[in-house]
A and B are shown apart, each in its own frame.
Chain A
Amino acid sequence: MQVNHLEYGLEIILFHAEASIVQDILKRILHNYQIPPQEHHDSVQAVWYPNAIEESYDYDDGYALKSLHSDLQEYRSQNADLVKKWISCFDRKDEPVLWLVKEEDIDSLLTVINDHRLYLAADNKLTEEELEQHLEEIEDPKLRSNLIEIHFLAWLIELILSNR
Protein backbone atom coordinates (compact mmCIF):
# COMPACT_ATOMS: atom_id res chain seq x y z
CA MET A 1 0.00 0.00 0.00
CA GLN A 2 1.27 3.45 -0.88
CA VAL A 3 -0.25 6.86 -0.20
CA ASN A 4 0.65 10.00 -2.16
CA HIS A 5 -0.70 13.45 -1.42
CA LEU A 6 -1.31 15.17 -4.75
CA GLU A 7 -2.77 18.56 -5.66
CA TYR A 8 -6.39 17.34 -5.76
CA GLY A 9 -6.17 15.02 -2.76
CA LEU A 10 -4.94 11.54 -2.00
CA GLU A 11 -3.86 8.79 -4.31
CA ILE A 12 -3.94 5.47 -2.47
CA ILE A 13 -2.24 2.68 -4.39
CA LEU A 14 -3.40 -0.78 -3.35
CA PHE A 15 -1.47 -3.84 -4.44
CA HIS A 16 -2.66 -7.45 -4.81
CA ALA A 17 -5.08 -8.48 -2.04
CA GLU A 18 -5.05 -5.04 -0.36
CA ALA A 19 -7.71 -3.73 -2.75
CA SER A 20 -10.18 -6.53 -2.00
CA ILE A 21 -9.49 -6.21 1.75
CA VAL A 22 -10.20 -2.46 1.64
CA GLN A 23 -13.30 -2.92 -0.53
CA ASP A 24 -14.63 -5.56 1.87
CA ILE A 25 -13.97 -3.27 4.86
CA LEU A 26 -15.76 -0.36 3.14
CA LYS A 27 -18.79 -2.59 2.44
CA ARG A 28 -18.98 -3.59 6.11
CA ILE A 29 -18.59 0.05 7.22
CA LEU A 30 -21.49 1.01 4.95
CA HIS A 31 -23.60 -1.83 6.35
CA ASN A 32 -22.85 -0.80 9.95
CA TYR A 33 -23.60 2.89 9.20
CA GLN A 34 -27.03 1.86 7.88
CA ILE A 35 -28.01 0.06 11.09
CA PRO A 36 -30.20 2.24 13.37
CA PRO A 37 -28.26 3.25 16.55
CA GLN A 38 -30.52 1.32 18.94
CA GLU A 39 -29.96 -1.92 17.01
CA HIS A 40 -26.21 -1.92 17.58
CA HIS A 41 -24.76 -3.99 20.39
CA ASP A 42 -24.53 -2.03 23.67
CA SER A 43 -20.73 -1.96 23.50
CA VAL A 44 -20.87 -0.40 20.02
CA GLN A 45 -23.58 2.10 21.05
CA ALA A 46 -21.30 3.16 23.90
CA VAL A 47 -18.61 4.33 21.47
CA TRP A 48 -20.69 5.44 18.47
CA TYR A 49 -23.65 6.95 20.36
CA PRO A 50 -22.42 7.45 23.94
CA ASN A 51 -24.69 8.10 26.91
CA ALA A 52 -21.90 8.30 29.46
CA ILE A 53 -21.84 12.08 29.19
CA GLU A 54 -25.00 12.07 31.35
CA GLU A 55 -22.84 11.37 34.38
CA SER A 56 -21.15 14.72 34.29
CA TYR A 57 -23.62 16.80 32.34
CA ASP A 58 -27.15 17.99 32.95
CA TYR A 59 -29.29 16.06 30.47
CA ASP A 60 -32.42 16.12 32.63
CA ASP A 61 -34.91 16.69 29.84
CA GLY A 62 -33.15 14.29 27.51
CA TYR A 63 -33.24 16.94 24.78
CA ALA A 64 -29.49 17.53 24.62
CA LEU A 65 -28.77 13.82 24.42
CA LYS A 66 -31.34 13.34 21.65
CA SER A 67 -29.83 16.26 19.78
CA LEU A 68 -26.34 14.77 20.18
CA HIS A 69 -27.41 11.34 18.93
CA SER A 70 -29.27 12.86 16.03
CA ASP A 71 -26.15 14.88 15.06
CA LEU A 72 -23.96 11.79 15.27
CA GLN A 73 -26.41 9.78 13.16
CA GLU A 74 -26.61 12.55 10.56
CA TYR A 75 -22.80 12.78 10.44
CA ARG A 76 -22.49 9.01 9.89
CA SER A 77 -25.22 9.08 7.28
CA GLN A 78 -23.32 11.76 5.31
CA ASN A 79 -20.16 9.66 5.55
CA ALA A 80 -22.13 6.61 4.35
CA ASP A 81 -22.80 8.44 1.07
CA LEU A 82 -19.07 8.96 0.61
CA VAL A 83 -18.33 5.32 1.46
CA LYS A 84 -20.81 4.24 -1.27
CA LYS A 85 -18.91 6.41 -3.74
CA TRP A 86 -15.53 5.00 -2.66
CA ILE A 87 -16.75 1.40 -3.00
CA SER A 88 -17.53 2.05 -6.66
CA CYS A 89 -13.85 3.02 -7.24
CA PHE A 90 -12.98 -0.65 -6.72
CA ASP A 91 -15.26 -1.94 -9.47
CA ARG A 92 -12.53 -1.71 -12.08
CA LYS A 93 -10.13 -4.62 -11.75
CA ASP A 94 -6.92 -2.68 -12.47
CA GLU A 95 -3.69 -3.85 -10.88
CA PRO A 96 -2.64 -2.01 -8.78
CA VAL A 97 -5.89 -0.27 -7.82
CA LEU A 98 -5.71 3.53 -7.65
CA TRP A 99 -8.12 4.90 -5.08
CA LEU A 100 -8.48 8.66 -5.44
CA VAL A 101 -9.83 10.67 -2.50
CA LYS A 102 -10.62 14.36 -2.97
CA GLU A 103 -8.87 16.84 -0.66
CA GLU A 104 -12.18 17.84 0.96
CA ASP A 105 -13.00 14.18 1.71
CA ILE A 106 -9.73 13.26 3.47
CA ASP A 107 -11.05 14.25 6.89
CA SER A 108 -14.14 12.06 6.41
CA LEU A 109 -11.98 9.17 5.23
CA LEU A 110 -9.91 9.34 8.44
CA THR A 111 -13.08 9.47 10.55
CA VAL A 112 -14.65 6.53 8.70
CA ILE A 113 -11.55 4.36 9.09
CA ASN A 114 -11.26 5.31 12.76
CA ASP A 115 -14.98 4.59 13.28
CA HIS A 116 -14.47 1.07 11.98
CA ARG A 117 -11.48 0.48 14.28
CA LEU A 118 -13.62 1.65 17.23
CA TYR A 119 -16.47 -0.58 16.05
CA LEU A 120 -14.28 -3.70 15.82
CA ALA A 121 -12.69 -3.06 19.22
CA ALA A 122 -16.09 -2.47 20.86
CA ASP A 123 -17.81 -5.39 19.11
CA ASN A 124 -15.06 -7.76 20.32
CA LYS A 125 -14.82 -5.98 23.70
CA LEU A 126 -11.06 -5.74 23.19
CA THR A 127 -8.90 -4.71 26.11
CA GLU A 128 -5.72 -2.65 25.89
CA GLU A 129 -3.67 -5.83 26.52
CA GLU A 130 -5.40 -7.67 23.66
CA LEU A 131 -4.82 -4.73 21.33
CA GLU A 132 -1.10 -4.88 22.10
CA GLN A 133 -0.82 -8.66 22.04
CA HIS A 134 1.31 -10.37 19.36
CA LEU A 135 -1.02 -11.79 16.71
CA GLU A 136 0.63 -15.23 16.77
CA GLU A 137 -0.36 -15.56 20.45
CA ILE A 138 -4.07 -15.24 19.62
CA GLU A 139 -5.80 -18.54 18.97
CA ASP A 140 -9.38 -17.40 18.27
CA PRO A 141 -9.46 -16.91 14.45
CA LYS A 142 -12.25 -14.29 14.55
CA LEU A 143 -10.44 -12.21 17.16
CA ARG A 144 -7.19 -12.58 15.27
CA SER A 145 -8.73 -11.46 12.00
CA ASN A 146 -10.39 -8.45 13.67
CA LEU A 147 -7.09 -7.45 15.26
CA ILE A 148 -5.31 -7.74 11.91
CA GLU A 149 -7.95 -5.41 10.44
CA ILE A 150 -7.54 -2.91 13.30
CA HIS A 151 -3.75 -2.85 12.78
CA PHE A 152 -4.07 -2.69 8.99
CA LEU A 153 -6.35 0.36 9.28
CA ALA A 154 -3.98 1.95 11.80
CA TRP A 155 -1.25 1.63 9.17
CA LEU A 156 -3.52 3.32 6.60
CA ILE A 157 -4.32 6.20 9.02
CA GLU A 158 -0.59 6.69 9.75
CA LEU A 159 0.20 6.71 6.00
CA ILE A 160 -2.49 9.31 5.33
CA LEU A 161 -1.46 11.56 8.22
CA SER A 162 2.22 11.36 7.38
CA ASN A 163 1.44 12.43 3.79
CA ARG A 164 -0.59 15.51 4.72
Chain B
Amino acid sequence: MANTEFPVTKKSNKEKVDVAFEKGWRVIVWNDPVNLMSYVVYVFQCILGFSHEKARKHMLEVHHDGKSCVAQETREKAEHYLHQLLAKGLKTTLEKVD
Protein backbone atom coordinates (compact mmCIF):
# COMPACT_ATOMS: atom_id res chain seq x y z
CA MET B 1 0.00 0.00 0.00
CA ALA B 2 1.37 3.36 -1.00
CA ASN B 3 2.15 5.94 1.67
CA THR B 4 -0.70 8.36 1.96
CA GLU B 5 0.13 11.88 2.99
CA PHE B 6 -2.25 14.00 4.97
CA PRO B 7 -1.07 17.52 4.25
CA VAL B 8 -3.89 19.16 6.17
CA THR B 9 -3.06 17.32 9.39
CA LYS B 10 0.69 17.92 8.98
CA LYS B 11 0.14 21.62 8.45
CA SER B 12 -2.21 21.74 11.37
CA ASN B 13 0.35 20.04 13.64
CA LYS B 14 3.07 22.41 12.48
CA GLU B 15 0.81 25.33 13.21
CA LYS B 16 0.10 23.95 16.67
CA VAL B 17 3.83 23.61 17.36
CA ASP B 18 4.50 27.13 16.06
CA VAL B 19 1.76 28.56 18.23
CA ALA B 20 3.01 26.66 21.27
CA PHE B 21 6.52 28.08 20.94
CA GLU B 22 5.55 31.53 19.80
CA LYS B 23 5.90 34.20 22.47
CA GLY B 24 2.57 35.59 21.44
CA TRP B 25 0.98 36.33 24.81
CA ARG B 26 1.39 39.40 26.98
CA VAL B 27 0.92 39.25 30.75
CA ILE B 28 -0.68 42.49 31.92
CA VAL B 29 -0.87 43.62 35.55
CA TRP B 30 -3.51 46.25 36.32
CA ASN B 31 -3.64 48.94 38.96
CA ASP B 32 -5.86 48.44 42.00
CA PRO B 33 -6.26 50.57 45.12
CA VAL B 34 -5.66 47.83 47.71
CA ASN B 35 -2.33 46.13 46.97
CA LEU B 36 0.60 47.95 48.57
CA MET B 37 3.39 49.22 46.31
CA SER B 38 5.99 47.33 48.36
CA TYR B 39 3.93 44.12 48.08
CA VAL B 40 3.64 44.46 44.28
CA VAL B 41 7.43 44.91 44.02
CA TYR B 42 7.91 41.82 46.21
CA VAL B 43 5.54 39.71 44.04
CA PHE B 44 7.24 40.81 40.80
CA GLN B 45 10.61 39.78 42.26
CA CYS B 46 9.32 36.41 43.52
CA ILE B 47 7.18 35.33 40.58
CA LEU B 48 8.87 36.96 37.61
CA GLY B 49 12.43 36.93 38.97
CA PHE B 50 12.84 40.69 38.46
CA SER B 51 15.63 42.65 40.13
CA HIS B 52 14.39 45.15 42.73
CA GLU B 53 14.99 48.00 40.28
CA LYS B 54 13.06 46.36 37.42
CA ALA B 55 10.23 45.31 39.76
CA ARG B 56 9.94 48.89 41.04
CA LYS B 57 9.90 50.27 37.47
CA HIS B 58 6.98 47.99 36.52
CA MET B 59 5.16 48.71 39.80
CA LEU B 60 5.39 52.46 39.08
CA GLU B 61 4.13 51.87 35.54
CA VAL B 62 1.12 50.04 36.99
CA HIS B 63 0.56 52.85 39.48
CA HIS B 64 0.89 55.76 37.05
CA ASP B 65 -0.35 54.31 33.74
CA GLY B 66 -2.93 51.89 35.16
CA LYS B 67 -1.21 48.78 33.80
CA SER B 68 2.13 47.26 32.87
CA CYS B 69 3.12 44.46 30.53
CA VAL B 70 5.35 42.34 32.77
CA ALA B 71 6.10 39.53 30.31
CA GLN B 72 5.63 38.40 26.73
CA GLU B 73 5.70 34.64 26.62
CA THR B 74 4.43 31.41 25.08
CA ARG B 75 0.83 30.62 25.98
CA GLU B 76 1.87 27.96 28.49
CA LYS B 77 4.37 30.19 30.32
CA ALA B 78 2.02 33.18 30.20
CA GLU B 79 -0.77 31.06 31.74
CA HIS B 80 1.66 29.93 34.44
CA TYR B 81 2.47 33.57 35.31
CA LEU B 82 -1.24 34.45 35.18
CA HIS B 83 -2.12 31.75 37.73
CA GLN B 84 0.73 32.73 40.05
CA LEU B 85 0.13 36.47 39.92
CA LEU B 86 -3.62 36.00 40.51
CA ALA B 87 -2.88 33.67 43.42
CA LYS B 88 -0.86 36.53 44.93
CA GLY B 89 -3.85 38.85 44.52
CA LEU B 90 -2.58 40.98 41.64
CA LYS B 91 -5.17 41.90 39.01
CA THR B 92 -3.73 40.21 35.92
CA THR B 93 -4.91 39.41 32.40
CA LEU B 94 -3.46 37.87 29.25
CA GLU B 95 -3.48 39.62 25.91
CA LYS B 96 -2.75 38.06 22.54
CA VAL B 97 -0.08 39.87 20.54
CA ASP B 98 -1.52 40.97 17.18
Which of A's residues lie within 8 Å of B, judged by CB? 47, 50, 52-53, 55-58, 64, 68, 71-72, 75, 107, 110-111, 114-115, 117-118, 121, 126-128, 131, 150, 154, 157-158, 161-162
Determine whether the beta carbon of A75 is less than 8 Å from that of B89. no
Judge whether B39 is part of the interface by a CB distance below 8 angstroms.
yes
For B41, give the chain A residue with the smallest CB separation.
Answer: A161
Contact residues of B with A, CB < 8 Å?
28, 33-36, 38-39, 42, 46, 79, 82-83, 86-89, 91-96
Q: How far is B87's CA from A75's CA once the two chains are assembled, in angstroms? A: 7
Task: Establish whether residues A107 and B46, one from each chain, have CB atoms under 8 Å apart when the complex forms.
Answer: yes
The reply to whether A71 and B83 form a contact with Cβ atoms under 8 Å apart is yes
A sample of 5 inter-chain contacts (CB < 8 A) reads A50-B91, A52-B91, A53-B93, A128-B33, A154-B36
Contact indicator A53/B94 (Cβ below 8 Å) = yes
A72 & B38 in contact (Cβ 8 Å cutoff): no
User: Is the Cβ of A53 less than 8 Å from the Cβ of B82?
Assistant: yes
* Cβ-defined contact, B36 with A115, below 8 A: no
Give the top 4 A-B pairs by smallest Cβ distance, nearest first: A128-B33, A57-B94, A121-B34, A75-B87
In the assembled complex, how far is the CB of residue B69 from the closest CB belonging to chain A, in whole angstroms? 12
Neighbouring A residues of B79 by C-beta, 8 Å:
64
The reply to whether B42 and A56 form a contact with Cβ atoms under 8 Å apart is no
Chain B residues with Cβ under 8 A from A57's Cβ?
Answer: 93-96
Residues of chain B lying within 8 A (CB to CB) of residue A121: 33-34
Of A55, A107, A150, A154, the residue contacting B93 (CB under 8 A) is: A55
Q: Tell whether, in the assembled complex, residue A117 and residue B88 are in contact, meaning their CB atoms are under 8 Å apart.
A: no
Q: A117-B34, A127-B33, A128-B33 are in contact. Are A157 and B94 (CB under 8 A)?
A: no
B88: which of A50, A58, A111 is its contact (CB, 8 Å)? A111
**Residues of B close to A114: CB separation below 8 A:** 35-36, 39, 88-89
Question: Given that A53-B82, A53-B94 are contacting pairs, would A161 and B89 also be in contact in the complex, using a CB cutoff of 8 Å?
Answer: no
Inter-subunit contact B34/A118 (CB<8 Å): yes
Q: Are B38 and A157 in contact (CB under 8 A)?
A: yes
- Tell me whether A118 and B89 are in contact (CB under 8 A): yes
Residues of chain A with a CB closer than 8 A to B33's CB? 121, 126-128, 131
Residue on B with the closest CB to A58? B96
Closest to B26 in A: A56
Q: Is the CB of B93 within 8 A of A110?
A: no
